[in-house]
């Protein structure tokens, strides 16, 4: 899932400062799960904004809504009429949601209320960690299911580096060295020979290095 | 601001604080009339949204009163409420309100005197802090 974190309230207030009537739009997808952009987050943020604006002496009217997913036209289309009645939309979906809104409903302006962080999962209640960097050429089959691209600070393919000590990363002692984890896991799986196979240098064009990427599924195209 | 009478909303657990408030009444204890009680089946029922909406609707102070830690009828409800109160302290601080305006208290149903004390304490605290928004704007918001 995509994990995002709410922007500081001051930054949000500054970005909606000129407006008297806005829509606060959440998303029922990933950001609901990480508590930053679901229906409840919409209610909490709307309440905070109204209180801050009331305190500052410039009231604001907020239309609250949370489509199933903000990253698909079909779901945001349902709110078209309401969107037309507001001056701007404050979106607390991921960056994809914000861009879907701006591109599909080009006549209005949609402002982000979240900082989109990474693709990851909740390792415990209330704590999410990065697990996938979307690099476009998955190597998990060789690494015991642990990703060196997302989890190694140096994105090494032949770790661990000299900075790995006691199973911890030199960049941050709180972070486990993923190459230590990969080694331990492969040893447990009796597949340590995976690490002895010489592989060609990685072609990073599948990642973000070659510009915007796309995926096509022709059978689904109309 | 000597004539400021704060509005304080108290979210009280049915098994302890609410019963304690009842006992305070039965004991003929005096406590400030500024406190409005909302009765809950457990403080674990309270949501950050309830506390925030109370402020938005014009409350100057809010407190949650649950069972003593370790004595919740639903085991962990009061511990969860404590976390939510801490969360709301951060939320109202972002808005520019003092975090002391919201507080968590723990007491048992036998502590009628303590309930009156808490009501006194919160009323005095919020009186010292003043209203959440300038009075003129507040009246407009409430109307």
**DSSP codes, A138-155:** --TTTTTT--HHHH-TT-
pLDDT at B134: 64
Work out the average pLDDT over A108-126. Answer: 95
Which region, left, alpha or beta, applies to residue A144 given φ > 0 means left and ψ of -120 to 50 means alpha?
Answer: left
Could you list the beta-strand ranges (E) of A26-91: 61-65, 88-91
pLDDT at A107: 83
pLDDT at B12: 97
Interface of A with B in 34-73 (CB under 8 A): 40, 43-44, 47-48, 50-52, 54-55, 57, 59
Measured between beta carbons, the chain B residues lying within 8 angstroms of A54 are 133, 137, 141
Q: Is the pLDDT of residue B78 over 90?
A: yes
Domains of chain B: 8-138 (3.40.50)
Q: What is the pTM of this model?
A: 0.92
Q: Is the pLDDT of residue A16 over 90?
A: yes
- Which residue carries 């331990």 as its tokens? A184
pLDDT band at residue A206 under the 50/70/90 scheme: very high
Instruction: Report whether A177 contacts A160 (CB < 8 A).
Output: yes
Rounded CA separation A144/A197 (Å):
14
Angle B13-B14-B15 (CA atoms, 0-180°, nearest 5)? Answer: 95
Burial of A146 (0-12, 13-18, 19+ CB in 10 A): buried
Q: Do B56 and A51 touch (CB under 8 A)?
A: yes
Q: Is the pLDDT of residue B83 over 60?
A: yes
Q: How many CB atoms lie within 10 A of CB A214?
A: 4
pLDDT band at residue A159 under the 50/70/90 scheme: confident
Rounded CA separation B95/A12 (Å):
11
pLDDT at A59: 93
pLDDT tens, position by position, A23-76: 999 999 999 999 999 999 999 999 999 999 999 999 999 999 999 999 999 999
pLDDT at B75: 95
Q: Do A44 and B48 touch (CB under 8 A)?
A: yes
Residue A208 contacts B where some CB pair is shorter than 8 Å: no
pLDDT tens, position by position, B14-67: 999 999 999 999 999 999 999 999 999 999 999 999 999 999 999 999 999 999
Q: Name the residue facing B137 among A48, A52, A57 (closest C-beta).
A: A57
Instruction: Report whether B71 contacts B15 (CB < 8 A).
Output: no
pLDDT band at residue A95 under the 50/70/90 scheme: very high
Rounded CA separation A183/A169 (Å):
14
Q: B14-29: string of b/e by CB count within 10 Å (b at 16+)?
A: ebbbbbbbebbeeeeb
Measured between beta carbons, the chain B residues lying within 8 angstroms of A8 are 94
pLDDT band at residue B142 under the 50/70/90 scheme: low
In the CATH scheme, what is the code of domain A2-117?
Answer: 3.40.50.2300
pLDDT tens, position by position, B101-122: 999 999 999 999 999 999 999 9
Q: Is the pLDDT of residue B2 over 90?
A: no
Rounded CA separation B8/B60 (Å):
6
Cis peptide before A174 (omega within 30 of 0): no
Rounded CA separation A52/A92 (Å):
18
Work out the average pLDDT over A99-107. Answer: 91
- Which residue carries 């991921």 as its tokens? A94
What length does chain A have? 222
Rounded CA separation B38/B12 (Å):
6
Q: Where are the alpha helices (DSSP H) in B1-143?
A: 17-26, 48-56, 77-95, 112-129, 135-142
Domains of chain A, by residue range, sit at: 2-117, 133-209
């Amino acid at each position: 899932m995509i994990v995002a974190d709410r922007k500081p309230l001051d930054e949000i207030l500054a970005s909606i400062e000129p407006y008297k009537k806005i829509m606060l739009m959440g998303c029922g997808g990933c950001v609901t799960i990480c508590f930053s952009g679901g229906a409840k987050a919409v209610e909490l943020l709307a309440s905070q904004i109204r209180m801050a604006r009331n305190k500052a002496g410039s009231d604001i009217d907020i239309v609250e809504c949370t489509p199933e997913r903000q990253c698909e036209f079909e779901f945001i289309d349902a709110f078209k009429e309401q969107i037309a009645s507001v001056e701007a939309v404050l979106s607390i979906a991921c960056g994809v949601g914000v861009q879907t809104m701006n591109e599909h409903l080009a006549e209005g302006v949609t402002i982000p209320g979240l900082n989109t962080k990474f693709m990851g999962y909740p390792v415990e209640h209330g704590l999410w960690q990065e697990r996938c960097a979307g690099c476009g050429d998955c190597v998990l089959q060789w690494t015991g299911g642990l990703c060196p691209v997302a989890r190694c600070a140096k994105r090494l393919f032949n770790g661990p580096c000299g900075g790995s000590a006691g199973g911890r990363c030199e960049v941050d002692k709180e972070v486990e060295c993923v190459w230590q984890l990969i080694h331990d896991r492969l040893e447990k799986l009796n597949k340590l020979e995976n690490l002895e196979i010489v592989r060609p240098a990685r072609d990073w064009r599948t990642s973000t290095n070659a510009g915007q990427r796309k995926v096509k599924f022709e059978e689904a195209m109309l | 601001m000597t004539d400021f009478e704060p509005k304080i909303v108290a979210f009280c657990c049915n098994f302890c604080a609410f019963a304690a408030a009842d006992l305070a009444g039965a004991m003929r204890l005096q406590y400030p009339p500024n406190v409005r009680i909302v009765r809950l089946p457990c403080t674990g029922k309270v949501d950050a949204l309830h506390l925030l909406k109370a402020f938005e609707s014009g409350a100057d102070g809010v407190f949650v009163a649950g069972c003593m830690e370790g004595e919740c009828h639903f085991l962990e409800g009061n511990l969860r409420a404590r976390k939510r109160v801490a969360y709301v302290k951060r939320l109202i601080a972002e808005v520019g309100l003092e975090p002391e305006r919201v507080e968590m208290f723990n007491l048992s149903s036998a502590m009628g005197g303590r309930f009156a004390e808490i009501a006194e304490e919160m009323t005095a605290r919020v009186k010292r802090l003043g209203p959440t928004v300038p009075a003129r704007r507040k009246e407009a918001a409430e109307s």
